[in-house]
């Protein structure tokens, strides 16, 4: 029985079962078509830990392997992936391979390949792997997630825990879910097809055997599926895959140059909208693309290239899909009037240069990696692109900065009442000994002062 036997005569028509015979039809042809492209992804990371100090007495008995010396602990990650190119490109979730030093992929036919991570996109929670010495693999066709409708039948296919493939069936429960909190770009497909632990990175498949989403997260109180799963649409997956095929090491997305806010019911009524919708512009970066296009504070973005915008997360997703180059058409509400503006799709500028440094020496910042804030750095960290100053990019494990509690995205405003405008300012301040450290930090838009001895 071929796949076409399951499809209606006209590919665009969608029908519900009309007889008992139709209800008893099987999904097996679709599964046979796509299952060779769904793989198991597993990786390892070796961490060194220092359980406790060791003096010379213990060193004489234990040598370099004593209780106070670094000891190795191996952590493993298991998930799923999908082959999207016959020459060995695999898409999976970034969280599946995050921090992994070695990655392997097992195919449905039990062949195994070493894999190279060629692109990570943490903001979209996607990663692209290249299988070494692989060719003529079975790749899945990328479908158009924009054509999905609530109620469409879908299959969730994964290869978790190395025990073999699992297939579950369900429907599209909702589209454009924006309050999931899994990645920076919130625009998920929701499905009731069971997505269990280990299925992350697997495929959400339509009835044509096309990939329409990458299964990413579930809502669960127990850790198991309760029928609320979320997948990244292929509209986002395609952009990341194309970047990898073009040799890019990072996905460069356009810079809008404005701060947005949700539209409340009161705001909607005041400006004549029939319901809360769109994204309200509350601030503009001087000289940014939005300001240059003539957008103003108080404008409400209602549509992007004809796609309606319900909230600011939907705008962020639609805008990010466009890539850089060319322009984009926005439909706006300004007062009682609707108008259209074209915004150029430009990459965020790295001005000033980031000048990344790792702080050493005896100070509360020892082990912190910091950079100068620019629209490019702020965009990477999902921060307000108008922010300025010195930002924490990461802290080393077991470092003073880590123990003090500095976090990625913290802006160091001042040290001992001296403003920190550049990384060189911070380097200079931390190179001097001090009895007290009075530090002003901006975290998520709120400033606080901490004093350390």
pLDDT digits (tens, 9 = 90+) for 142-185: 999 888 889 899 999 988 765 678 888 889 888 876 655 555 66
Instruction: State residue 56's pLDDT score.
Output: 43
Task: Based on the residue annotation, tell me whether 200 is a catalytic residue of this protein.
Answer: yes
- 121 as an active site residue: the answer is no
pLDDT of residue 3: 37
Catalytic residue among 85, 95, 183, 311: 95
Residues 6+ apart with CB under 8 A from 349: 255, 374, 375, 376
Question: Could you give the residue ranges of the DSSP H alpha helices within 322-419?
Answer: 375-380, 400-404
CB 228 within 8 A of CB 217: no
Residue ranges of the chain whose pLDDT lies below 70: 1-13, 45-77, 161-163, 177-186, 218-227
Q: Catalytic annotation on 138?
A: no
Task: Please tell me which residue in 85, 121, 125, 410 is annotated as part of the active site.
Answer: 125
Task: State the Cα–Cα distance between residues 217 and 189, nearest whole angstrom.
Answer: 11
Domains (range + CATH), the chain: 1-248 (2.40.10.120), 258-344 (2.30.42.10), 357-452 (2.30.42.10)
Backbone φ and ψ for 317, nearest 5 degrees, come out as -70, -50
- pLDDT the model gives residue 76: 64
How does the average pLDDT of the chain come out, rounded? Answer: 83
* β-bridge mates for residue 452, sequence order: 437
Distance between CA atoms of residues 129 and 203, nearest Å:
15
Active-site residue identified among 200, 225, 363, 399: 200
Structure tokens at 192: 């009731």
Q: How high is the pLDDT of residue 67?
A: 47
Q: What are the tens digits of pLDDT across the range 181-194?
A: 555 666 788 888 87
- Within 78-129, residue ranges assigned H as helices are 94-97
What are the phi and psi torsion angles at 360 (to 5°)?
-120, 180
pLDDT at 184 (0 to 100): 60
Q: What is the DSSP string of 49-76?
A: E--S---HHHHHHHGGGSTTS-EEEEEE
CA distance to 105, 174, 327, 422, per residue, from 431 (Å): 46, 54, 47, 15
Q: Rounded to an integer, what distance in angstroms lies between the CA atom of residue 406 and that of residue 395? A: 7
């Amino acid at each position: 029985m071929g796949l076409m036997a399951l499809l209606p005569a006209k590919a665009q028509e969608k029908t519900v079962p009309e007889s008992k015979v139709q209800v008893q039809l099987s999904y097996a042809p679709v599964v046979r078509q796509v299952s060779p492209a769904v793989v198991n992804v597993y990786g390892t990371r070796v961490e060194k830990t220092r359980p406790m100090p060791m003096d010379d007495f213990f060193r004489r008995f234990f040598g370099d392997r004593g209780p106070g010396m670094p000891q190795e602990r191996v952590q493993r990650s298991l998930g799923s992936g999908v082959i999207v190119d016959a020459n060995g490109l695999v898409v999976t979730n970034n969280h599946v391979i995050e921090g992994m030093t070695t990655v392997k992929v097992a195919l449905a036919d039990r062949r195994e390949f070493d894999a190279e991570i060629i692109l990570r996109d943490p903001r979209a929670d996607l990663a692209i792997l290249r299988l070494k010495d692989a060719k003529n693999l079975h790749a899945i066709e990328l479908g158009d997630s924009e054509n999905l409708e609530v109620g469409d039948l879908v299959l969730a296919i994964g290869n978790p825990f190395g025990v073999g493939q699992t297939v579950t069936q369900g429907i599209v429960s909702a589209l454009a879910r924006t309050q999931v909190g899994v990645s920076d770009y919130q625009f998920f497909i929701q499905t009731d097809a069971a997505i269990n632990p280990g299925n992350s990175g697997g495929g959400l498949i339509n009835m044509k055997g096309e990939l329409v989403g990458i299964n990413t997260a579930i809502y669960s109180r127990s850790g198991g599926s309760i029928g609320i799963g979320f997948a990244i649409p292929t509209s986002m997956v395609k952009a990341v895959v194309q970047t990898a095929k073009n040799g890019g090491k990072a996905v460069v997305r356009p810079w809008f140059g404005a701060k947005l806010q949700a539209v409340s019911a009161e705001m909607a009524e005041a400006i004549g909208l029939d319901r809360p919708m769109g994204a309200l512009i509350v601030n503009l970066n001087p000289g940014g693309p939005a300001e240059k296009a003539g957008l103003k504070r108080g404008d409400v973005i209602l549509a992007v290239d004809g796609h309606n915008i319900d909230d600011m997360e939907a705008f962020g997703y639609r805008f990010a899909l466009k890539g850089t180059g060319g322009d984009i058409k926005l439909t706006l509400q300004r007062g009682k009037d609707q108008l259209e503006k074209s915004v150029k799709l430009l990459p965020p500028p790295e001005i000033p240069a980031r000048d990344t440094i790792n702080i050493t020496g005896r100070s509360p910042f020892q082990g912190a990696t910091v950079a100068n804030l620019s629209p490019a750095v702020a965009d990477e960290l999902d921060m307000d692109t108008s922010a300025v100053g010195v930002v924490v990019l990461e802290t080393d494990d077991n470092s003073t900065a880590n123990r003090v509690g500095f976090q990625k995205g913290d802006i160091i405003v001042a040290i001992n009442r001296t403003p920190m405008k550049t990384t060189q300012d911070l380097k200079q301040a931390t190179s001097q000994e001090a009895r007290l450290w009075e530090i002003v930090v901006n975290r998520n838009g709120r400033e606080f002062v901490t004093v350390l001895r």
